[in-house]
Amino acid sequence: MRVHRNRVVAVIALAGIVSLAAVSPAVAAPRPDNVSLKGAGGGTCVEFDDDGVPEWFEDSTPELDRLANDLQDIANDNQDLVAGTAHCSHREAVAIFVTSNAKAISDQIEAVAVAHPESTVYQYIVKHSMTEMLAMMDKMPRQRMEALGIVGMHPDILTGGLTFVVRPGGGVSPGQSKKFSQEFDSVIGGDTPAGVSLEAEPADPAYHRYSDIPAYYMGGALCPTSGSCTSTTGGRCSGGIPLKVNGVFMMLTAGHCTASQYWNAGNTVGTQHTTAYPGNAKLYGDWKLLKGSSYGLRTFSGAATNDSSSLPITGVNWGSRSLGDSLCTSGSTTGQICRYFITAVNHVMPAKDISDGIERKYTTVMRHDNSNGKNSDNAGFRGGDSGGPCYYADGDGGVIVAGIVTATNTTTYYCTQLNGVRAWNSNTQLG
C-alpha cells in the first residue's frame, strides 16, 4: 500500500560558509553565508518511503552530529518557537523548523552556523511549534482516533502538524490524511497539516483476529478464558458492532455467547453489561453488550488467522434490507464470507426450530451461493462466528453494518438485525 505524506511548508534554505573575520563588532553582523535565505518554497530536505517513514541514504559525520546537537539545544530551549530539527536525507545539511514568529532566536541559529562553517543549516518555516503540537495532541479524542484505526500520533516537526500512525492493512489511502484533517478540524484547525504513516509491517501480522489490541476490531475472537485461544477453542464467539449507549462505548455480540467476560490474546475485551438472551430474545433478538475496553469502527475482512486486513465501518442499518440484497459476515472461525442473499427479514425463529429452544425476534434469513446466485450451499459461517458483524459495502471502500451472526441450519443462515437494540434503547448509536 502506498501512503504518501503531503507537505506544504514555507522554506528558508540557508547555505554557504562564513569567516568570523567578516563580522565587524561595530555593525550588526551579516547573516552567515551558511544561513542565507532562499525565500518560500515547498517540501523539505527529508525524503520518505512509500509508507510515509523518513529515509536517510548515507551515514552522518561527527561534524554534522555536532551541528545537529547544537541546533537541537536551541529547539529544546525554545519549544514555543521551534518545532524541531532533522538531518537531511542525503546528509547535505541539518534543518531547523521554526514558526514565523521565531525572529527572536535568529541570532542563536546564526551563532551555531558560525561555529560550524564547514556545514550547512536549512531553516524552514512551519505552521506550529512543538508546544502547540503537544497541546493539540493532548486534546485529541482518543476514542474517535481508535475508531478510525489510528494507533498512535506524534508531532510532525517537518510541517508543524501531526502525523497519525495507522495499522498495516487498515485500508488507509493517500487521501486519508485529508479526512483526518477534516475529522479533527475542531481540535487542530483546518489549516494544520495532517500526515499519515504506517506502522512497520511485521513478518507475522501484529494485529489479527486472535491477537488484537484496543481499540478492538469487529470479527475478532472473543475467547471465554484468558488462556490460549484458537479457531478450535470451545465457547468462543466473535466481536460484532461497536455501539455507544447513553454515552458509554460498548461492543455488541451474540446473546447466546454465554460467558460473562471475554478475552483476546490474554487481554480483556469486555465484560457483560446486559443481554437480551434468553429471557428477552423474543422481544429484542439474540444479542448482548460488552463494555470495559475501547472498540474500533473497523471489521477484520481477511482470513480467519494471521490476516490483519480490515475495512472501516462507516454506517449502520437499524432496520432491514431488500429481499435479494447481499450481505457479508466476518468471524473468528471462517473469516470474511460474502455472497449471502436475503430471503426474508424480520423473521421470528420459533423456539421449536432451534436447538436451545429460545424464540428469537428480528432475524434476517439468508442463503449462501458462491456460484451463480441461484443455488444454496453450506459454505457460510460456522460455530465461533456467532456475534460477528453482518454488513454490506457502502460504495466508497467501507461497510455498513446491518446485524450480527446468529445461527445456521446447513444451507440457511440467520443474522440478528439491529431493530431490537433500538427498540430496547432508542438512543443507541454507532460508536
Residue 404 pairs in a beta bridge with 389, 416
Q: Where are the domains of the chain?
A: 10-125, 132-198, 216-430
Q: How many CB atoms lie within 10 A of CB 21?
A: 6
- The answer to whether the CB of 122 falls within 8 A of the CB of 14 is yes
Residues contacting residue 204 through CB under 8 Å, at least 6 positions apart: 306
Average pLDDT of span 34-39: 43
Per-residue pLDDT of 225-277, as tens digits, reads 988 899 889 999 999 999 999 999 999 999 999 999 999 999 999 999 999 99
Answer whether the bond into residue 32 is a cis peptide, omega within 30°. no
Which one of 188-192, 369-373, 384-388 scores highest in mean pLDDT? 384-388
CA distance 67 to 87: 10
- Look at residue 22 and give its three-state secondary structure: helix
% of the chain beyond a pLDDT of 90:
47
Residue 300 pairs in a beta bridge with 310
* Beta strands 47-48 and 82-87, pairing class: unpaired
Going by C-alpha positions, the residue among 424, 396, 414, 391 that lies closest to residue 241 is 391
Residue 82 has pLDDT above 80, yes or no: yes
Residue 268 pairs in a beta bridge with 263
Residue 317 has pLDDT above 80, yes or no: yes
Which set of grid coordinates corresponds to residue 36?
A: 542565507
Four-way CATH pick for 216-430: 2.40.50.140, 3.40.50.10860, 3.40.190.10, 2.40.10.10: 2.40.10.10
CB-count exposure of residue 92 (10 Å: 0-12, 13-18, 19+):
middle
Tell me, what's the pLDDT at 198? 47
